[in-house]
Structure 1
Amino acid sequence: MPILLALDASSSACSAALLLQRDGVEERLVSRFALTPREHTRRLLPMVDEVLAEAGVSPADLDAVAYGRGPGSFTGLRIAAGVAQGLAYGLDRPLLGVSTLEALALAAHRRHGVEHVVTAMDARMGEVYAAAWRCRDGITEALLDEAVMPPQRLQLPEKASQAGWYGIGSGWWLWEAMPAEVQAGVTQRDAESEPAAEEMVVLAARDYAANGGHMAHEVQPIYLRDQVAWQKGG
């Protein structure tokens, strides 16, 4: 029965979640989430302690640790990476990095049953972190690679341009700056939601089942600042 812990500090939110699975099926999910700008260092470890205690699990029971590896706040990503790597090293457990944008896409799918999702997070400096996804039966598939760009350059995937898209993430506060084609294709949007460990732990469980995770030093944050092209997913 795999037991996984995920934590995240990539945005103004801070979160932790613990997932217990039996035969690949979610048996119990315990999570904490709070909007805590500039308090991530103080709040993250207590959240981890809380989810472990509520689930009746000790750190030694964990099979793997995961964290939101980005894109997101540079400081927040470093905080989460430090905590997650420290836990993985100390427990001699594998570490998994989970995309914050993929976690947002899964959240939209789980909450609203939507299939086509465009995720966009405010990247500051007049840019957004963005990607596009197809979500079916709890499975996410990237249709456009994650990239950082001005909102004016945001596009929808050509092969699915006629779909009714759901936009999620803080980047959608920049709606007025986005191209007319995007505004026409995105029929619903949620600019309030932030990435959360609750979805990250589900994605981490998928990856853990597939490859078992990685050594702690091999999993690094993804900042995207040196990747400025908007590219189609492979």
Structure 2
Amino acid sequence: MRLLALDSSAASCSVALWDDGKKEIGSPVVAHHCKFMDRGQSEALIPMVDSVMEEAGWAFGDLDRLGVTVGPGSFTGVRIGLAAARGLALARGLSLVGVTSLEAIALEARAEDGNKDTAVPDTLFVALSAGRSDLYFQIFSRNEDVESAFPWQAASSPGAAMLEDVPGQLPQKGLVLIAGNGAPLIRHVLATEKRAAGPGHQIIYAGGPGLPDAAAVAVIAAGREPETFGSEPVPLYVHSHYARLPQGRMKEVAP
């Protein structure tokens, strides 16, 4: 299967091509471009798609599936990615798979250098900046399905909270890995408030930019069943008061 993945949901823009026929000889991600940007995704996304297709020597007729982030994230960025993916899927008759931005961050979460020898985390807390001193967040637990390409399973629905309220949302036992670009903010709050983990409770932090990336979207989308015809992915907005779309076209999750 050959798949094109797109992400423009946060402070970056990325595209990736996946070919599961390459698994045995190397990485199935055969081309990948990423740019960090707060705005300008609408101008950058399609040229990046053209660039990776040219790099891989693929034509759009070679694709079998598309993957795209559905949010939460930037209202405009989420819609840019979804609009591009829907347009390509419709024009080429391709199936389309939605992946949340928090899932994409979770897949690539790795403990920072100082904690690489720590045991496998019991839970993962993904925090993505939502602006206005808010964070999107979701808790994941270990996926017991060893055959799954996604090592985590959702232990909560995506939520949103003000930064100062996030410590109260953290798991209170076991080894907790905090990932996403909101992790440094949480670390600062915990240090400022001098909150110490209790017995049997340890918090470590992931390294890297902590943003969703199309390479992770490709991995997840390749292992997930596509949406049925007529029920393509819709935006996931955690803050329903930030954006309003026609009834039935917005998926809302209460904080």
Task: State the TM bucket, normalised to the shorter chain.
Answer: 0.7 to 0.9
SS at match of 2:108: helix
Check the 8 A contact 1:10/1:68 in 2, yes or no.
yes
Alpha-carbon distance between aligned partners in 1 of 2:156 and 2:196, rounded to the nearest angstrom: 16
CA gap 1:110/1:14 in 2 versus in 1, 3 angstroms: farther
- Tell me the TM-score normalised to structure 2 length: 0.77
Which one-letter code corresponds to 2:154 in the other structure?
A
* Cα distance, 1:57 vs structure 2: 1.4
> Structure 1 residue 28 and structure 2 residue 28: aligned?
yes
Question: Could you tell me the percent identity over the aligned residues?
Answer: 29
Unpaired runs of 5+ residues, structure 2, are 241-252
Alpha-carbon distance between aligned partners in 2 of 1:196 and 1:126, rounded to the nearest angstrom: 23
Partner of residue 225, structure 1: 239
Which one-letter code corresponds to 2:68 in the other structure?
Y
Q: How does 1:22-171 map to 2 (within 5 A)?
A: 22=21, 28-29=28-29, 30-109=31-110, 115=121, 116-135=123-142, 138=149, 139-154=151-166, 155-157=169-171, 161-163=173-175, 165-171=176-182
SS at match of 1:170: coil
SS at match of 1:144: coil
> What is the aligned counterpart of 1:193 among 203, 210, 232?
210
Which one-letter code corresponds to 1:125 in the other structure?
R
Range with greater deviation from structure 2 (108-117 or 125-134): 108-117
CA gap 1:81/1:202 in 2 versus in 1, 3 angstroms: same
SS at match of 1:108: coil
SS at match of 2:156: strand
SS at match of 2:107: helix
CA gap 1:70/1:61 in 2 versus in 1, 3 angstroms: same
Query: 1:4-31 CA distances to partner (integer Å, 9 max, x unpaired)?
Result: 1110101111000010013987763121
Check the 8 A contact 1:167/1:190 in 2, yes or no.
no
Q: What root-mean-square deviation, in Å, do the aligned CA atoms of Structure 1 and Structure 2 show?
A: 2.8
Partner of residue 7, structure 1: 6
Alpha-carbon distance between aligned partners in 1 of 2:197 and 2:219, rounded to the nearest angstrom: 29
SS at match of 2:236: coil
Query: 1:48-72 CA distances to partner (integer Å, 9 max, x unpaired)?
Result: 1122122221111111111111110
Check the 8 A contact 2:21/2:28 in 1, yes or no.
no
Check the 8 A contact 2:69/2:100 in 1, yes or no.
yes
Which one-letter code corresponds to 1:47 in the other structure?
M
Which one-letter code corresponds to 2:203 in the other structure?
V
Q: Greater CA radius of gyration, 1 or 2?
A: 2
Range with greater deviation from structure 2 (146-155 or 105-114): 105-114
Which one-letter code corresponds to 2:16 in the other structure?
A
SS at match of 1:22: helix
Check the 8 A contact 1:173/1:191 in 2, yes or no.
no
Range with greater deviation from structure 2 (41-50 or 183-192): 183-192
> Structure 1 residue 206 and structure 2 residue 207: aligned?
no
SS at match of 2:227: coil
Alpha-carbon distance between aligned partners in 2 of 1:54 and 1:193, rounded to the nearest angstrom: 26
Check the 8 A contact 1:17/1:32 in 2, yes or no.
yes
* Cα distance, 1:191 vs structure 2: 7.0
* Cα distance, 1:199 vs structure 2: 0.3
Check the 8 A contact 1:169/1:193 in 2, yes or no.
yes
CA gap 1:191/1:135 in 2 versus in 1, 3 angstroms: same
